[in-house]
Amino acid sequence: MAVKITYATMSADNEELNSAYESALVEVQEKLGELHGVIVNGEHRVERPTYEERSPIDSDIVVGLYAQGTTQDVDDAVAAARDFTDEWEDWGWERRRDLMQTAADIMEDRTFEIAALMTYEVGKNRLEALGDVAETVEFFRYYSDQITKHDGFVTPLGSLGENETNVSVLRPWGVWAVISPFNFPMALAAGPSIGALLTGNTVVLKPSNTGALMSLEFYRVMADAGLPPAALHVLTGRGSEIGDYLAHHDGIDGITFTGSYEVGMHLYRTATEKRPKPVAAEMGGKNPVIVTASADLDQATEGVMRGAFGLSGQKCSATSRVYVEDDVYDEFVDRLVAKTEKLKVGDPKDKETFLGPVIDRAAVSRFEKAVREVEESGGEVLAGGKVISDGDLGRGNFVTPTVVTAPDQSWVWKEELFVPLVAVGKVSDLDEALEKANDTEFGLTAGLFSTDENEIERWFDGIEAGVTYVNRAAGATTGAWPDIQSFGGWKGSGTSGAGGGGPWYLRQFLREQSRTKIL
């Protein structure tokens, strides 16, 4: 790719990029609608009931048919993964690292093909889709660099005698379950899987039915890189059925879950009832932004707009609450509404489109419910608030980007919505804004717009969130990138305390063994 794509890339104005992506959109059409089996020990099992995934862009487009795994498939996958754990650890970290680097090169070569499929599957515009793939490539390379930097996590210790040698060795837990969501269908399936595999665990991956094609593409990349079949298994199916069964399986030694607070907390409480094991649950967010009187309002409104409406608000990091100081409130709102009303909503395959569809009809209903709540609670819809039901877009799940005000007691300030709706409120000063920003069970991301150094330091020290941004026009609360911003939540947003794409992430896939040798 001639231009480096990250989530901070603000323009698709690149002829080479657009030409390659648009060619891929045509080429991948022949792959749409195929039947895909669950993958157990390299075997593609298709003789199962299927889930028909239709594109959120157009319900006439069938993205794929996915075999729905059974509990027997889970048992078989876990057993095969278990049988291979010793051999996979014996590969050694250098050999596993080299395989990951090969996989990174393969995926990078397929960037446009995978991104085009992702647009059809979950409705991401071209920059969002390309960014998802590029982030996954970075996960391969960054985590490979990390394990190299730490020499495979083997650390010499002190000694009590001349003939005594002591060493700390971090070793894999065994079989790791990865349960991934639809919204970053490549990065959030592959990222934890890469971390687990690289550190010597075998992996059973259970993606969302919506977004499953990306997990299958990830598997294809890994297989082509030379990954042994028993190291990675992909089980498509309903989360409430095989996902829950997998997470509570006696043969699972660790879990990474990305999804809702309710499901994440259920797994966190119940998956360790029989024995201790790591449960890394990355859950939701209700991410606040504070705009003080010293802020650059053009920068602030750009950052809020992009943070709230990127991927149609379907990010756990999406900007959903904004607290603006009195003196600049009216001007901020006027500018935000003006920018919001200019956003292009439409087919995400089109270069000019900023907002594509939401993922399904349930998301459309959730959007409508939130708009009704604003109106019935005495708030005001300042921009948007509409479902698009006519023309070609009427066959998809399209809603307009929405800016609202609402009374403090309205649940739109509290509940994660996962739709393009942002609430704006007025505050008297930074202290009041911090109090309101922290009044939530979540603590994922947060943003501040201020040019006052004292305000900035007070905010960093006072905000309760794992990922924090100041004056970020590319996304007020969104856009973390491997080795640039570690991504992980505090409070009800995460359990591991180690952000993805950060220097402590691989540690959670390993457990320490102290070794003393006397000769």
Q: What is the CATH number of the domain that holds 178?
A: 3.40.605.10
Cβ-proximal residues to 110 (8 Å cutoff; 6+ apart), any chain: 133, 217, 221
Q: What is the mean pLDDT of each successive set of 10 residues along the chain, which is 519 residues long?
A: 74 88 97 98 97 98 98 98 98 98 98 98 97 98 98 96 95 98 98 98 97 98 98 95 96 97 96 95 96 98 98 98 98 98 97 96 98 98 97 96 98 97 98 98 98 98 98 97 95 93 97 97
Domain that holds residue 198: 24-283+496-518
The CATH number of the domain holding residue 440 is 3.40.309.10
Distance CA 223, CA 176 (A): 18
Q: In the prediction, which pLDDT does 14 show?
A: 87
- Residue located via tokens 């859950």: 283
Residues 124 and 28 in one domain: yes
Determine how many CB atoms are found less than 10 A away from the CB of residue 422: 29
Q: In the prediction, which pLDDT does 2 show?
A: 52
Cα 70 from chain centre:
26
Tell me, yes or no, whether 6 lies in a domain.
Answer: no
Tell me, yes or no, whether 460 lies in a domain.
Answer: yes
Tell me, yes or no, whether 11 lies in a domain.
Answer: no
Q: In the prediction, which pLDDT does 4 show?
A: 77
Residues 247 and 318 in one domain: no
Residues 100 and 210 in one domain: yes
Residues 219 and 321 in one domain: no
Residues 60 and 175 in one domain: yes
Cα 289 from chain centre:
20
**Residue 23, token pair as written in the block:** 């060619």
Distance CA 280, CA 202 (A): 16
Residues 147 and 242 in one domain: yes
Pair type for strands 279-282 and 287-291: unpaired
Q: Which of 259, 270, 278, 117 is nearest to 195 (CA)?
A: 278
Cβ-proximal residues to 471 (8 Å cutoff; 6+ apart), any chain: 295, 296, 299, 303, 448, 449, 450, 451
Tell me, yes or no, whether 107 lies in a domain.
Answer: yes
Q: In the prediction, which pLDDT does 13 show?
A: 81
**Residue 95, token pair as written in the block:** 């050999």
Residues 359 and 220 in one domain: no
Tell me, yes or no, whether 13 lies in a domain.
Answer: no
Cβ-proximal residues to 24 (8 Å cutoff; 6+ apart), any chain: 112, 113, 115, 116
* 135 flagged as catalytic: no
Q: Are 467 and 485 within 8 A, CB to CB?
A: yes
Residues 72 and 96 in one domain: yes
Tell me, yes or no, whether 76 lies in a domain.
Answer: yes
Q: In the prediction, which pLDDT does 3 show?
A: 60
- Residue located via tokens 């680097």: 101
Per the structure, the count of domains in the chain is 2
Distance CA 284, CA 259 (A): 7
Q: Are 49 and 68 within 8 A, CB to CB?
A: yes
Cα 161 from chain centre:
49
Residues 53 and 128 in one domain: yes
Residues 240 and 341 in one domain: no
**Residue 388, token pair as written in the block:** 């698009």
Residues 450 and 475 in one domain: yes
Distance CA 476, CA 300 (A): 8
Tell me, yes or no, whether 468 lies in a domain.
Answer: yes
Cβ-proximal residues to 344 (8 Å cutoff; 6+ apart), any chain: 350, 352, 353, 354, 355
Distance CA 56, CA 123 (A): 6
Assign residue 418 a region (left: φ > 0; alpha: ψ between -120 and 50; beta: otherwise): left
Q: 3-state DSSP call for residue 132? A: helix
Q: Which of 113, 135, 282, 455 is catalytic?
A: 282
Cα 426 from chain centre:
30
Assign residue 170 a region (left: φ > 0; alpha: ψ between -120 and 50; beta: otherwise): beta
Q: Which of 316, 325, 416, 455 is catalytic?
A: 316
- Residue located via tokens 């982030």: 135
* 316 flagged as catalytic: yes
Pair type for strands 380-383 and 402-405: antiparallel
Strand partners of residue 225: none
Distance CA 510, CA 174 (A): 9
Tell me, yes or no, whether 16 lies in a domain.
Answer: no
Residues 312 and 270 in one domain: no
Distance CA 404, CA 329 (A): 13
